[in-house]
Structure 1
């Protein structure tokens, strides 16, 4: 069976796809993967034994450029989103239409216009199609609110989640409808008035751990929760990092992953100061914000892309942005977490870590020294470490294998 996997998103989107790709290949599937052509994503997919078909544009360059642009008024920003969505859905369709030759099924994740392009390829060719999300927040349910787009805020005073998910339908149509329906007309498909439901399907997949992110039953969507898709990482830690770890007490890891916001430079400085104020050494990840230690001191080390699965087992706490992948990796390692959420699903993961008692998050995207210090104190408390260690053994590691079997089973999607 030949399968096309598609994503257009950050490392948190690409690495789970790589995990699924590895599991599918173990079951004998023939694979094609469409992903952003960033060098680091090519390296991640190479660990799974696949070379990606390059998608729309390198994500890091595109996102970093967007973040550096001056703020614009909501109407202009909405127009920019609409035009970008048009380009993404058109380009991604052309790429995936070529990649899907000979395929039997398509699974898509990532930005909605890219998923829409994948769904259009599947519909046009009569292929099986599955849509997957990595956080419950992106799937309709009366138990949580939908993602709030910056140019389309939720109606003031509305607390009924069902009403908010109806508003989400209107938002999808306003921002993405023109681009998606223009594409569908170009390829001979009928336009969609309700964009969201045919694209994410009535039975989407939730690739998240059921302890970290439990799905509550709802009549709004019949969700299949597979567990998180984890790519095994066998890379050795750099010699310099091993020497640093062995030279003293376990440090705190500080990293914000694929978040390019320049404000994170100040956040990382405060985080390092808060760690040092508590007598803790620091491992700081450069990430997309190109973070670095301000002072060259023996109690800190800055690193590039490293094996988090190996490192997190050797640190005192993980202070991060709250991406699904980093949250799951820290939970698997049994290490406490401090989450400083920035966008999208990150506030959700911060709230879950706090609710489970395996870390702390005050929800502030622009943290203060006092806030970080208080959160660190909670995370470093013995009882928090004990809860984190106990939870580690409950995290499922078979999510990718479960999803691979479902995808290859007849009539499963």
Structure 2
């Protein structure tokens, strides 16, 4: 069967689909991924078909719109407004790209931002539709959903309400673009009730999350699955640069600090804050430049500025990992089995910051706009000195490494196709 998957976002949104796509292809399916042009080589190197999405998410995140979104990402109302503006800017081009990418497919797998578009394509052309998610969006009394303010852990009513609130949040963010696309296809408008049914009853939803990290609530319907993470590992022939190898061999195990796809209005200031915090704690460090382009010209010998390296290779070699809390980076840190700490900028990052802290493998998360050199130094000191946290992280990482998320997802998709 021909299967098309749509990945809108950063590498953390693309890489799990590479793992799933490889598993589906090994099971005999023909798989293609629609993603931004900066991920074309990554998709094709995985041996999968590629379709271009014209929207450059990296450029968009580094634009004024993207920077404003990140700066105000902890205010749910303002975040919704910025996120809606981003989706609206993708506009008609995104819809046409998704239409082109899914034209020949028999089955389409959408995601958080694309599900409204992929559902419309499948409704119009009678294709099978599934949704892949990396953070919780379905209502449950067991825990709160992402994309909404935190609620008390014991308040089951508010937990469930947050799930419906998160779904309304995403419906409101995407409805203009989705309904314009549906109108182009000759379909009626998609309202909140349609959106809730799409996720809660109508469509098979696959959560690429470990059940150890996000246990599946019994109240969820039979079409909602928690499969385990979908890890796509670096090529076996990947080698670090001589400079990186020399740095790792030159002293104590370093601490990693990086904010991934998050932009910064002051990349040099952010880099110097990281450098100062590492020096205050006496730790060697690796700072990843990321999409923000963090930079510093006066690096001390015990700090290394890294352009990029596969997380599955790098993180197990770190003493601890401090990151932005994207779902993909969070999963990589958990699997590595090292203590971590999240500096949450926006979206689902506060959720993951709280979740890994609740699991006892991370310190309390810190909002990016509250981060100072002194606070970052305290984070570093905490996660490098807490031996009980280190033991818990090692144990959880070992268990996650023995899960089979891709195989579970492939089996579910095959069963869905056979229905």
**TM (normalized to structure 1)?**
0.87
Judging changes above 3 Å, is the alpha-carbon distance between structure 1 residues 100 and 162 closer, same or farther for their aligned structure 2 residues?
same
Q: Distance in 2 between matches of 1:81 and 1:141?
A: 24
Task: Give the superposition deviation at 1:290.
Answer: 0.6
Aligned position for 2:96? 94
Judging changes above 3 Å, is the alpha-carbon distance between structure 1 residues 4 and 219 closer, same or farther for their aligned structure 2 residues?
closer
Q: Distance in 2 between matches of 1:289 and 1:410?
A: 40
Q: Distance in 2 between matches of 1:274 and 1:84?
A: 34
Q: Distance in 1 between matches of 2:336 and 2:84?
A: 41
Q: Distance in 1 between matches of 2:289 and 2:148?
A: 28
Aligned position for 1:63? 61
Select between 381-390 and 222-231 the one with higher mean Cα deviation.
Answer: 381-390
Q: Does 1:253 align with 2:259?
A: no
Instruction: Give deviations 1:331-363, integer Å, cap 9, x for gaps.
Output: 212111121111111112211222222221343
Aligned position for 1:328? 331
8 Å contact 2:68–2:82 — kept in the other structure? no
The secondary structure found in structure 2 opposite 1:85 is helix
Judging changes above 3 Å, is the alpha-carbon distance between structure 1 residues 255 and 43 closer, same or farther for their aligned structure 2 residues?
farther
The secondary structure found in structure 2 opposite 1:35 is strand
Q: Map of 1:235-250 to 2, 5 A cutoff?
A: 235-250=238-253
- The correspondence for 2:305, drawn from 302, 305, 312, is 302
Q: Structure 1: where are the runs of 5+ without partners?
A: none
Q: Distance in 2 between matches of 1:81 and 1:99?
A: 23
**TM (normalized to structure 2)?**
0.86
Over aligned residues, Cα RMSD in angstroms?
3.1
Instruction: Give deviations 1:300-346, integer Å, cap 9, x for gaps.
Output: 11111212211212111111111122122122121111211111111
The secondary structure found in structure 1 opposite 2:344 is coil
Task: Give the superposition deviation at 1:378.
Answer: 2.2
Task: Give the superposition deviation at 1:99.
Answer: 2.5
Select between 299-308 and 166-175 the one with higher mean Cα deviation.
Answer: 166-175
Aligned position for 1:178? 176
Aligned position for 1:391? 396
Task: Give the superposition deviation at 1:219.
Answer: 4.9
Aligned position for 1:403? 409
Q: Distance in 2 between matches of 1:374 and 1:76?
A: 30
Instruction: Give deviations 1:171-203, integer Å, cap 9, x for gaps.
Output: 455443333223223212232222422443524
Q: Distance in 2 between matches of 1:10 and 1:284?
A: 19
Q: Distance in 1 between matches of 2:380 and 2:291?
A: 23
The secondary structure found in structure 1 opposite 2:399 is coil
Select between 120-129 and 358-367 the one with higher mean Cα deviation.
Answer: 358-367
Q: Distance in 1 between matches of 2:416 and 2:106?
A: 11
Judging changes above 3 Å, is the alpha-carbon distance between structure 1 residues 282 and 106 closer, same or farther for their aligned structure 2 residues?
same
8 Å contact 1:37–1:55 — kept in the other structure? yes
Judging changes above 3 Å, is the alpha-carbon distance between structure 1 residues 101 and 282 closer, same or farther for their aligned structure 2 residues?
same
Judging changes above 3 Å, is the alpha-carbon distance between structure 1 residues 179 and 391 closer, same or farther for their aligned structure 2 residues?
closer
Q: Does 1:232 align with 2:233?
A: yes
8 Å contact 1:92–1:118 — kept in the other structure? no
- The correspondence for 1:369, drawn from 357, 369, 373, is 373
- The correspondence for 1:338, drawn from 315, 328, 341, is 341
Aligned position for 2:215? 214
Judging changes above 3 Å, is the alpha-carbon distance between structure 1 residues 324 and 188 closer, same or farther for their aligned structure 2 residues?
same
Aligned position for 1:223? 224
The secondary structure found in structure 2 opposite 1:409 is helix
The secondary structure found in structure 1 opposite 2:291 is coil
Judging changes above 3 Å, is the alpha-carbon distance between structure 1 residues 14 and 173 closer, same or farther for their aligned structure 2 residues?
closer
The secondary structure found in structure 1 opposite 2:286 is strand
8 Å contact 1:237–1:307 — kept in the other structure? no
Q: Structure 2: where are the runs of 5+ without partners?
A: none
Q: Distance in 2 between matches of 1:264 and 1:336?
A: 25
8 Å contact 1:142–1:220 — kept in the other structure? no
- The correspondence for 2:50, drawn from 49, 52, 59, is 52
Judging changes above 3 Å, is the alpha-carbon distance between structure 1 residues 271 and 87 closer, same or farther for their aligned structure 2 residues?
closer
Instruction: Give deviations 1:260-284, integer Å, cap 9, x for gaps.
Output: 1225654443333222222211111
Judging changes above 3 Å, is the alpha-carbon distance between structure 1 residues 368 and 296 closer, same or farther for their aligned structure 2 residues?
closer
Aligned position for 2:37? 37
The secondary structure found in structure 2 opposite 1:9 is coil
The secondary structure found in structure 1 opposite 2:377 is helix
8 Å contact 1:378–1:384 — kept in the other structure? no
Q: Distance in 1 between matches of 2:362 and 2:167?
A: 34
